[in-house]
Amino acid sequence: MTLGDILTPETIVPDLKATTRWEVIDELIDCLVQAGRIEAKHREAITAVVRKREHSMSTGIGFGIGIPHASTDLIHDVVGAFGRSLKGVDFDALDNQPVTLVMLFLVPQGQFQKHLHTLADIAKLMHRKEFRQALETAPDAPSMFRTIKDNSEAK
């Protein structure tokens, strides 16, 4: 499963309104609810599990990238939402730089290998400078999705 398989144009927010990492997480989870990828009744429980994971250690990995993620038994497939902050958000990142690109994903509980592989694939793709630049300059969600789809490689 690639990043292009996890996302759709509807799960991409090209201009996050959030100004904190917690608001970013809320905004991306709201996006997943609106896109029908998670049930509205599970919103608070899913937010809590992502926040718990983020409190244990920031998922700001440097280079302007944040990858908040968690496992939950409230979903059956890997789901994710991607957001771009035009101003940058303090994510308590490893390099202390603001985060502009955020990929939030959720993996069904008990699928540890899938969780690790998904995280590794996203991190590997996001570390490519040309890819990040293409996402930062894309005009809208469909363009961002095309960039992601074109750069996601099936294993």
Question: How many Cα neighbours within 13 Å face the side chain of 89?
Answer: 26
Torsion 32-104-10-29 (CA) sign: positive
Pairing state between β 99-108 and 69-72: parallel
Residues 6+ apart with CB under 8 A from 61: 67, 93, 94, 123, 126
Q: Which amino acid is at 45?
A: A
What DSSP element (H or E) covers 25? helix 21-34
Given the residues 69, 76, 115, 117, the one annotated as active site: 69
Cβ proximity of 119 and 69 under 8 Å: yes
Q: Is 117 a residue of the active site?
A: no
Catalytic residue ranges: 69
